[in-house]
Structure 1
Amino acid sequence: MHRRRRTALVLSAAIAAAAPLLTACSGGAHPGAAAVVGGERITVAQLENRVNEVRRAQRAAVPDQAQYQQVLSATSSLTRDTLYNMVLDRVLHRAAQDAGVNVSRRDVEQMRARLERQAGGAKALQAAWLQKYGIAPRQLDDNLRFQVEANKLAQVLGTDTSQPAFWKALSRASEELHVDLNPRYGAWDVQKSSRVDAKTPWVREVTSAGSQVSA
């Protein structure tokens, strides 16, 4: 997994070292599901749509075919990383709810305004997030909401997002939600609230014919 994806979600966060406790679901148990979080499915179609949105944004930003192929190569794990983002978003939200943390639209707008000033404008911020973290422009506000929620949770816990206390809260939320990944995308490490590659070499990631998804 590209660690820069984690950086995009929780800036400057470091995973607390812990022994893994893995869970995984079979495609037969949850047909059509890329993951099940708190009994709710993240479907393969939802995952593919999110990935395709990023790919379209990357293609628009890099019209040169040779350069675009380099982008594809550099982001070859996009599907798995995107699923990780989608799952971790729900895990963090549960942890924030447990701690009584709320995020307002104004909170997100303030963070976006600050980042736009630092980046040199709205377009520059969108381009930076796409290039560095694989976040499509339409997904930017959702990602910033995640940032705000993570920071607020850390403050309530009296820590920051790089410390074990923060990740312990996410670990508890992972346990509460019974996170299951379809094995084709790996498995979920409850202790670290992180996706890991499945230790089953016979599991192959297969995408539907004609799909734009590249993972």
Structure 2
Amino acid sequence: MHRRTSSRRRTALVLSATAIAALPALTACGSGAHPGAAAVVGGQRITVSQLETRVNEVRDAQQAATKDSAQYEEAVAKTGSLTRNTLHTMVLDRVLHRAATDAGVTVTRKEMQDMRAGMERQAGGAQKLETAWLAQYNVAPKRLTESLRTEIEVQKLATVLGADMQTPDGQAVFWKALGKASKDLNVDLNPRYGAWDVTPRSRLVEARTPWLKQVTQAPAETRTA
């Protein structure tokens, strides 16, 4: 059972930028018509204040996880694009949720709790899992369960779409759905944070969104994970 669950998660996470580089870019630059907004998605604002709160959550968690100021400064240096990447992740999560909703996908709290419990067992405890996701994905501990919701949405959306995420064709189907959702939501990004591009060839990949993780292990290793 453990192996099958791990395999399903890895399948959902395999999104190769190279395999679907031919997908058209869908970009939208902020119009400046939304003062105080870092982005507007589906008519709803992500305010600069909300963005700063999310970034500060990560910085506070990084500081708590480090032993001294030098180690903290090193962590900050490694995440110099945290603000921009955090905003792109916040927007992309909403785009994913819209695509999942359009496909009739729902996620229950029990599903999130079950996934978290399983991952905690694999990691060796809740604290180790939180530390790992903070280091790898810049997800603050208080946002971990929310982040897992997007993982489940990816798995379910891929299933509904019949998209095999280990193939270029399957990935293309998946990203086509996200592209449609992105257009429908009319994403408007404040120019100070860059331009919006839903394709994985953009800097979204650099945001290290958990469900965008590229799994490069050999098939044999994947099966035994």
Report if TM-score (shorter chain) is over 0.5.
yes
Q: Which residue of 1 aligns with 2:108?
A: 104
Relative to structure 1, is the Cα distance of residues 33 and 180 closer, same or farther in structure 2, using a 3 angstrom cutoff? Answer: same
User: 1:47-126, aligned counterparts within 5 Å?
Assistant: 47-126=51-130
Residues 189-208 of structure 1, C-alpha deviations (whole Å, 9 max, x = no match): 14559557xxxxxxxxxxxx
Alpha-carbon distance between aligned partners in 2 of 1:171 and 1:115, rounded to the nearest angstrom: 30
Q: Identity over the aligned pairs, expressed in percent?
A: 60
List runs of 5+ in structure 1 lacking aligned partners: 1-9, 197-215
Q: Which residue of 2 aligns with 1:129?
A: 133
List runs of 5+ in structure 2 lacking aligned partners: 1-11, 205-225
Alpha-carbon distance between aligned partners in 1 of 2:113 and 2:179, rounded to the nearest angstrom: 29
User: 1:5-20, aligned counterparts within 5 Å?
Assistant: 11-15=13-17, 16-17=20-21, 18-20=23-25
Residues 120-171 of structure 1, C-alpha deviations (whole Å, 9 max, x = no match): 0111100000011100000001000010011100011111446111111000
Alpha-carbon distance between aligned partners in 2 of 1:148 and 1:160, rounded to the nearest angstrom: 15
**RMSD across aligned positions (CA):** 1.7
Residues 28-68 of structure 1, C-alpha deviations (whole Å, 9 max, x = no match): x1100000000000000000000000000000000311111
Name segments (4+ residues, structure 1) moved above 3 Å.
Answer: 190-196
Q: Which residue of 1 aligns with 2:45?
A: 41
Out of 16, 25, 30, the position equivalent to 1:25 is: 30
Alpha-carbon distance between aligned partners in 2 of 1:60 and 1:171, rounded to the nearest angstrom: 38
- 1:144 is aligned to 2:137: no
Relative to structure 1, is the Cα distance of residues 191 and 64 closer, same or farther in structure 2, using a 3 angstrom cutoff? Answer: closer
Does the 8 Å contact 1:88/1:193 carry over to 2? Answer: no
Give the counterpart letter for 1:173 in structure 2: A
Equivalent pairs counted in the alignment come to 186
Alpha-carbon distance between aligned partners in 1 of 2:202 and 2:40, rounded to the nearest angstrom: 14
Give the counterpart letter for 1:57 in structure 2: A
Q: SS of the counterpart of 1:68? A: helix
Give the counterpart letter for 2:64 in structure 1: A
Alpha-carbon distance between aligned partners in 1 of 2:34 and 2:185, rounded to the nearest angstrom: 16
TM-score, normalising length from structure 1? 0.82
Residues 7-30 of structure 1, C-alpha deviations (whole Å, 9 max, x = no match): xxx733223212323211133x11
Greater RCO structure (CA 8 Å; 6+ sep): 2
Q: Which residue of 2 aligns with 1:173?
A: 181
Alpha-carbon distance between aligned partners in 2 of 1:83 and 1:160, rounded to the nearest angstrom: 28
User: 1:193-208, aligned counterparts within 5 Å?
Assistant: none
TM-score, normalising length from structure 2? 0.78
Give the counterpart letter for 2:175 in structure 1: W
Residues 91-139 of structure 1, C-alpha deviations (whole Å, 9 max, x = no match): 0111001100010011101110111011001111000000111000000
Q: SS of the counterpart of 1:35? A: strand
Does the 8 Å contact 2:37/2:46 carry over to 1? Answer: yes
